[in-house]
Amino acid sequence: MGEEKNTVGEEPLSPCSRLFNSPDFNCAIIVIMGCKVKGNAPAIIDGLKHTLVNHPRFSSILEMNDGKKGKPSWVRTEVRVEDHVIVPDIDPNIENPDQYLEDYISKLTTVPMDLSKPLWEIHLLCLKTSNAESIGLLKIHHSLGDGMSLMSLFLACTRKTSDPEALPTVAVRKKQFGPSCDTGFFNKIWWLFVGLWFILKLVFNTFVDVLMFALTICFLRDTETPLLAKPGTELVPKRFVHRIISFDDVKVVKNAMKLTVNDVLLGVTQAGLSRYLSRRYDQEATPKSKESMRRIRLRSAIMINLRPNTGIEALADMMAKKSKCRWGNLFGYILLPFSVGLETDPLEYVRRAKVTVDRKKHSLEAVFSMAFFKLILKILGLKASVVLVRKVIHNTTLTFSNVVGPKEEITFHGHPLSYIAPSVFGHPHALTVHFQSYENKVIISVTADPTVIPDPHKMCDDFVESLKLIKSSVLERGLYEMEV
């Protein structure tokens, strides 16, 4: 049944939302929720009526031509939640439930969103898998928001299992730079020089990164590897696979080498991709030496959210009171180089990752890329902007992301979750790697084009094995000291 429009609540699409709605860049996000109990559709429907549908984006339909001044707009509508919750009929005695889930999600990536209603839906699968009693699949069009904002909104719809009235606890990084108030005169002089050096490094790194970004748009493409996408890969049904690893193992490496979690996960990714590529080259009878693999140019086009992230408390309050809060897509791109090659010392992957991440922290590449794309959109229009974004993605190899999740077990409308595995599809990359922390776990999600990467399960296993080797190397050298 269709939903009734309310043109009073009309709001124009942001430039980034228009980009995600273009036919050549039609992206959506899928969040796989592993539930510890059997699916209860009425409970989820009732919960959504009091949370998600109170968000303006999730109660608006997309009008591409009939909005204000003929421009694409979000138009508020009455939402019938039952039309957005899909419960397929599944044989309870199915032979291989994990494979059925993988096939179901793959088919879901080929089904376009229904533009006659708000661009989201939940599939509730009464399917017992190896890690869950039932599965929830949340499919959201990317034009509704960036990944960080949508994850915050999802968490705002959940509560702690231990305290049904409390919102989840998510770790927040505390940044401190500069002298404290009681710093002496000479220390202030020292911090002045540090600040000048920081500015010089920021300007230099930004100049180099913007230059490389421009060259990538023009002609600079990653090395031809078994991971590089083929033309039309965004239209191919994707395979979604995941593995669950211990967050404590990640923290062992983090604390021993005085790194961040992101440094460790990037190092694990570099190590896993090196193992995978080496095996593929051997299978294809084109073995590569250690030095030749190091010469491979392999980069990720990473979307960086430039809008201050709205906290889950503000989002929960907004949905409860039907008030307003900051929302929307506002992002830039950075090009993150990956160092691949077979290393005799597994810790080398993590050291290289830290150098790469530290350098990218001192660059305004994302800000400049966002400003450039907005300028192109304003002057040359949507088609030109889409062409340039597609060139950046087409000339790089993968999408990589890492999102911090709740510290404790959470419940989604009466369904305690055993894991959360988000990912994205619809962009012209053959490979997407996403890390999601949850409780004492980290979920590694791999989304792959099977015509390019026919064995994504082996790639996941390579990531898991790489972390084991890195952790073992730390323990063997006695680098790890238990934190009190």
Question: Which residue has tokens 């890969």?
Answer: 233
Annotate 187-220 with b (16+ C-beta within 10 A) or e (fewer). eeeebeeeeeeeeeeeeebbeebbeebeebbeee
CA distance 442 to 251: 11
DSSP SS3 for 109: coil
Structure-token pair, residue 163? 């305290």
What is the number of residues in the chain?
Answer: 484
- CA nearest 121: which of 10, 44, 67? 44
Annotate 68-80 with b (16+ C-beta within 10 A) or e (fewer). eeeebbbbbbebe
142 is catalytic: yes
CB atoms near residue 241 (< 10 Å): 22
Structure-token pair, residue 111? 């089904």
CA distance 142 to 16: 9
Give me the catalytic one of 55, 84, 142, 242.
Answer: 142
- DSSP tag of 170: B
Pairing type for strands 441-448 and 239-246 reads antiparallel
Question: Catalytic site residues?
Answer: 142
